[in-house]
């Protein structure tokens, strides 16, 4: 194993340790959402990627369109998701988070973000600048990889 590999492993372990510190708060929020695993997946997919066709959601979940429709029915009943047919093609059903669904999911991120802010605030400015620069580099590498042809 090279020195670079060892440093990468230490960084990954550090990230895992930080997640263990931050995620229990998110876990509490997740339990309060009272959603099934498939419902939570739909909410997170819509939160992260915006409006999606019903068929795309079914594909992402690995379920049939009928099963996805059942999941969506329950989310619509709870006021977390809304469905609309496209004006040009009434067969296409678009799903998006409702205002209530967006607020609920925002709260999940907000709780974790505040804990992370608390941890970062305890650090010296010089170290924070190093982390900021390193994260910028990681984002640049990630952007380059997304543009790379497959």
Q: What is the pLDDT of residues 24-40, one digit of tens each?
A: 666 666 677 788 989 99
Q: Which residues contact 143 (CB under 8 A, 6 or more apart)?
A: none
148 DSSP 8-state letter: S
pLDDT tier at 91 (50, 70, 90 boundaries)?
confident
Confidence band for 95, pLDDT divided at 50, 70 and 90: very high
Residue among 12, 47, 28 at smallest CA distance from 112: 28
Reported as a single tens digit per residue, the pLDDT across 18-27 is: 877 777 666 6
> Which pLDDT value is given to residue 52?
94
Categorize the per-residue pLDDT at 126 as very low, low, confident or very high, splitting at 50, 70 and 90: very high
pTM: 0.70
Name the least confident of 6-10, 72-76, 86-90. 86-90
| Residue closest to 91 by CA, chosen among 101, 81, 99, 83 | 83
Provide the percentage of residues in the chain whose pLDDT is more than 90: 49
Max distance between CA atoms of the chain, in angstroms, equals: 58
Reduced 3-state DSSP string for 59-127: HHHCCCHHHHHHHHHHHHHCCCEEEEECCCCCCCEEEEECHHHHHHHHHHHHHHHHHHHHHHHCCCHHH
Domain that residue 132 falls in: 3-147
Count of structural domains within the chain: 1
Q: Which of 117, 112, 86, 147 is nearest to 20 (CA)?
A: 112
- Return the CATH number at 33: 1.10.10.10
6 vs 31: which has the higher pLDDT: 6
pLDDT higher than 50, residue 150: no
């Amino acid at each position: 194993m090279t020195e670079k590999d060892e440093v990468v492993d230490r960084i990954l372990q550090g990230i895992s340790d930080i997640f263990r510190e931050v995620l229990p708060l998110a876990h509490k929020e997740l339990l309060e959402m009272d959603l099934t695993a498939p419902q939570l997946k739909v909410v997170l997919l819509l939160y992260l990627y915006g409006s999606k066709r019903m068929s795309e959601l079914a594909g992402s979940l690995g379920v049939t369109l009928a099963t996805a429709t059942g999941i969506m029915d329950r989310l619509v009943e709870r006021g977390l998701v809304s469905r609309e047919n496209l004006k040009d093609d009434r067969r296409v059903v678009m799903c998006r988070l409702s205002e209530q669904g967006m607020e609920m999911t925002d709260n999940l991120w907000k709780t974790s973000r505040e804990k992370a802010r608390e941890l970062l605030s305890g650090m010296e400015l010089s170290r924070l600048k190093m982390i900021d620069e390193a994260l910028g580099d990681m984002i640049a590498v990630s952007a380059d990889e997304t543009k790379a042809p497959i």
